[in-house]
Structure 1
Amino acid sequence: MKQTASLPRTILAPILLGVLAVALWQLAVVVLEIKPFVLPSPVSIATEFSSSVSSVWAASLVTGANALIGLLIGAIVGIIAAIIATVLPITDELSAPLVAAASVIPIVALAPVFYTMFGADKETARQLVAALAVFIPVYLNTLRGLRQARPVHRDLMRAYGASAWQTTRAVTLPGAVPFLFIGLRIASSLAVISALIGEYFGGPIGGLGKSITSAAASSNYSLAYAYVLGAILLGLVFYVVTLGLERLVSPHRASASAP
């Protein structure tokens, strides 16, 4: 009953708010006669999106593939680094300055460097940019989760004669899973954003970032916003898939923590 009662608040309310915002946007463009180069109307963007859906889809596949590869690389490296830092605390102390430095590196400065290192004709730079953006939240949240196990729980497992692996499997890892998925939820959107930004600064032709800049350069602003809409939908897909995996692994915790 409680879950049913919260349905209008969690689903219908955001939808109604979104519809109202789009309606006000359309009204403002018409009434104030806002020029397309400032802000196209939602109707013109939707029309352009529907007529260019095949090109938006093709660009989304390129950006989505780079974001996915970056997400996998960054998540795997982040999880392994967090485990090592938990087992060997000295590594956490030594790597703390590097992690802090990596978290503030601007992508706009990093992407051209990677293109110089790996070649402007390869997708490697975009994937590494996404991986770096993913690594930070996954590493920090996983590390926090691995350290959530209370000493009393560890002492209890030792009292029962449990091995180190049994203690890790029964106490440490289950406690870290919710924190891991918090990091993955944040990282899923960051992967798309980072791959998209990386496309602005060179690399192969293709992807949503390149398509946005090309459409804007040719003064087709409605098409540029259509590609922006494609990027928004791609980010939502990444987030929803990550949230679905979280619910599959730990349904009770996911339903309690999901926004």
Structure 2
Amino acid sequence: MKGSVARGRAVAAPLVLGLGAVVIWQLSVILLQIKPFVLPSPVAIGTQFANNLPTVWETSVVTGANAIVGLLIGGILGVSFATVAAVAPVVDELSVAVVAALAVIPIVALAPVLYTMFGAGAETARQIVAGIAVFIPVYLNSLRGLRQVRAVHRDLMKVYAASPWQATRAITLPTALPFVFTGLRVASSLAVISALVAEYFGGPVGGLGKAITSAASASNYALAWAYVLGSIVLGLVFYCVTLGLESLASRHRPAA
């Protein structure tokens, strides 16, 4: 009973806060007579979102597909390299500069270069940008998790003559898994943001980034914000799916 109440509060609190913020936003636009090009009202944005729902859906699918590809590639590479770095510390030492450089690469500079390399009609550039954004948090968090295993636990497994797989299953994976999913939760939102931002600088016409640019260029600011709302929903979907997978994996992971 107490658990249900706690979960209810956890869901209700952000909803109430969000609803209050929207009401204050609407009242501020009306009372202060804020111009639409400065800040459209929530009602205007919601109306445009509802009226253009098929287009919002189509553009969200394009951006979401690129984000998924980037999340998968960046996640797999991040966990793989973290595993190698945990086993061979020299790899970690050699890759520090590379990881730091990747972390500060500006999308505005990288995206046009990738469009030139892979063609302006391909989605490859956007997927690579999303993959790089995902790789950093997944790699760093996974590496930290793999290093959390205490030496005494490793020694204990050796005393019991456990095989490498048994030691990994009983000690390493349960310890590292929460860190891996922390990285993936952060990366899930970054994948959407990176794919969307990359759409501003060329490539195919589809995608939320292009839709936002087109609507803003036509001075249809409420529609531009409607596409922004679509990107927010898309980011929340990615985050919630990752959170659900983490919860599922936590229930089924081997006990340490």
Provide TM-score, normalisation by structure 2. 0.96
Give 1:120's aligned residue: 120
- Tell me how far 1:252 sits from its aligned partner: 9.2
Query: Which amino acid counterpart does residue 148 of structure 2 have in structure 1?
Result: Q
Query: How far does the alpha carbon of each residue in 1:88-131 deviate from its partner, in whole angstroms, 9 at most, with x for none?
Result: 11100000110011111111111111111111110000000000
Give yes or no for the alignment of 1:57 onto 2:45.
no
- Compared CA separation, residues 8 and 166, structure 1 to 2 (3 A): closer
In structure 2, C-alpha distance between the alignment counterparts of 1:209 and 1:108, rounded to whole Å: 13
In structure 2, C-alpha distance between the alignment counterparts of 1:251 and 1:213, rounded to whole Å: 43
In structure 1, C-alpha distance between the alignment counterparts of 2:251 and 2:220, rounded to whole Å: 45
Give 2:104's aligned residue: 104
Give 2:246's aligned residue: 246
Q: Superposition pairs for residues 37-116 of structure 1, below 5 Å?
A: 37-116=37-116
Give 2:157's aligned residue: 157
Query: Which amino acid counterpart does residue 110 of structure 1 have in structure 2?
Result: L
Indicate the RMSD between aligned Cα atoms, in angstroms: 1.2
Greater mean alpha carbon deviation, residues 230-239 or residues 98-107: 98-107
Give 1:192's aligned residue: 192
- Compared CA separation, residues 203 and 34, structure 1 to 2 (3 A): same
Give 2:206's aligned residue: 206
Identity of aligned residues (%): 67
Give 2:226's aligned residue: 226
Query: Which amino acid counterpart does residue 191 of structure 2 have in structure 1?
Result: A
In structure 2, C-alpha distance between the alignment counterparts of 1:93 and 1:43, rounded to whole Å: 53
Query: How far does the alpha carbon of each residue in 1:176-235 deviate from its partner, in whole angstroms, 9 at most, with x for none?
Result: 000000000000000000000000000000100000000000011111000000000000
Query: Which amino acid counterpart does residue 230 of structure 1 have in structure 2?
Result: G
Give 1:170's aligned residue: 170
Query: Which amino acid counterpart does residue 130 of structure 2 have in structure 1?
Result: A
SS in 1 for 2:54: helix
Query: How far does the alpha carbon of each residue in 1:23-56 deviate from its partner, in whole angstroms, 9 at most, with x for none?
Result: 0100010111111110000001111110000000
In structure 1, C-alpha distance between the alignment counterparts of 2:210 and 2:100, rounded to whole Å: 30
Query: How far does the alpha carbon of each residue in 1:118-168 deviate from its partner, in whole angstroms, 9 at most, with x for none?
Result: 111100000000000000000000001111110000000000011222211
Q: Once superposed, which parts of structure 1, at least 4 consecutive aligned residues long, lie more than 3 Å away?
A: none
Q: Which residues of structure 1 form unaligned runs of 5+?
A: 254-259
Q: Superposition pairs for residues 7-26 of structure 1, below 5 Å?
A: 7-26=7-26
Greater mean alpha carbon deviation, residues 75-84 or residues 101-110: 101-110
Give yes or no for the alignment of 1:27 onto 2:27.
yes
Provide TM-score, normalisation by structure 1. 0.95
Query: Which amino acid counterpart does residue 228 of structure 2 have in structure 1?
Result: V
Count of residues paired in the alignment: 253
SS in 2 for 1:35: coil
In structure 1, C-alpha distance between the alignment counterparts of 2:78 and 2:252, rounded to whole Å: 25
Give 1:257's aligned residue: none
SS in 1 for 2:122: coil
- Tell me how far 1:86 sits from its aligned partner: 1.0
